[in-house]
Chain A
């Protein structure tokens, strides 16, 4: 990775793309009757939040990174729960055709259900907004992990399993020293996709619960008619999601070579 030569295009072209979009944004916002705040107005209104990213002035008036941090903590909890539940479930699905046949349909039915539908159920079940949010994140983001783990486990080459049989590895040894390492790249692809969804869900969850966090902030500013902050939140959410995905991509690449 370090040996890759520095290419100016790799940095210049994305900047051109960003510049074009900002220009379009400025043009659209300047049209008569447009409700879209201009880039300049957005910057002036958001300056306080960006330049003092960790400031805390009130419950719903905090620096942008402080809000992001609250959201990330909640995502981390829900995502961890998703991995803890999803990985063993995926392994079971991959190992046992009977189990797979029994539960495949129910997984396919639960998978497309929107976070907006899960959250009210979470609120009913847990009575509090934080566990409801965690529940929603976990149940929405676990499916890529489940399905990719199952696929990886199913695709372990017969040759490796033959090695295990010749060596007379026990059931557990075969699982931990043959099947899981062989399925690891696929499992991590699932982890990466799951993290993407977990971050997607957090915003919806916070918008409904109104807890402090990037999504809660967004919804509050919509209600207070400060549209510039909506754009600030959208950009922040996008950037954080991008960084998370790149980060998981790096981890994934490490396992791919292993």
Chain B
């Protein structure tokens, strides 16, 4: 059995009376030590997928297993790097990382915990900023703190949820190589969620496209046979680069074009029937005791949308 496995999982949300199925028939198996990128449209359900893996939410049907155990709740063995960093704003960089270390390695001495914290802050090159609060840092620095916090828990798998999504293109490129290097050194199993195909190709061992939602599902996995270390400057000239990129884009675009979205709206009509102005004289209307008529019915309409 593979290290991480998702078996026939599906997940939907109910919002305001209409039910949207986000993920459907998700099957995924990842071996230990692999770096897998899942690439998909924004809004396709990528964050839902990683929340399933992290155990923040449970699938409606199917199972998620990690190291042969059913995932039912989050835990530090699956380190999660959140899309929006999720650093605690009232703690410094050091305290944010220390909190994770302190919680996961309860039986270390205070000095060992301190050393562990420093080690990972150093790994992301943030030692000079260790006593700064998150809001004093740039977006890229915040994300590095978030990575350090996840790594400091020494998780068995690192889950990266669009870690660089909120950054500008230049910072992004720098951090991509940095994350690639850190993950390579740590030798961990990594699952990266992203909407950037190039990012996936640069970092991952294989890429799995996620089709457009609703009812998003995973496409065929595409191995990336480009030797490491990979760099932005050289990767585009690699003979396989274009072929890989095309096949992923091809899958994603085809899946998007084939999507017909069925949206169910609930229509709230005014809950009142107007008075009949023609029926009687003004005096009659004035004296009439007929209460305003209510119509307590809810109309539904189905709209087919080509997206």
Contacts and interface: CB of A to CB of B under 8 A. Distances in A.
B90 A167 contact: no
Contact of B80 (A166, A169, A173, A178): A166
Given A159-B82, A162-B56, A162-B74, A167 B103 contact: yes
Interface string B64-101: 00000000011110111010101010100000000110
A108 interface: no
Interface residues of A, number: 16
A117 B73 CA distance: 52
A180 to B, nearest CB: 10
B169 to A, nearest CB: 25
Interface in B34-86: 54, 56, 73-76, 78-80, 82, 84, 86
A181 interface: yes
Which of A166, A168, A177 has its CB near the most chain B CB atoms (within 10 A)? A166
A63 B73 CA distance: 65
Contacts of A166: 54, 56, 74-76, 78-80
Given A162-B56, A177-B99, A168 B75 contact: yes
Contacts of B153: 167
A178 B74 CA distance: 17
B90 A168 contact: no
B86 to A, nearest CB: 4
Given A166-B78, A184-B90, 16 more contacts: A159-B82, A159-B84, A159-B86, A162-B56, A162-B74, A162-B80, A166-B74, A167-B76, A167-B99, A167-B104, A168-B103, A173-B103, A177-B99, A181-B90, A182-B88, A182-B90
Interface of A: 159-160, 162-163, 165-169, 173, 177-178, 181-182, 184, 258
6 contacts: A162-B86, A165-B73, A166-B79, A181-B88, A182-B88, A258-B90
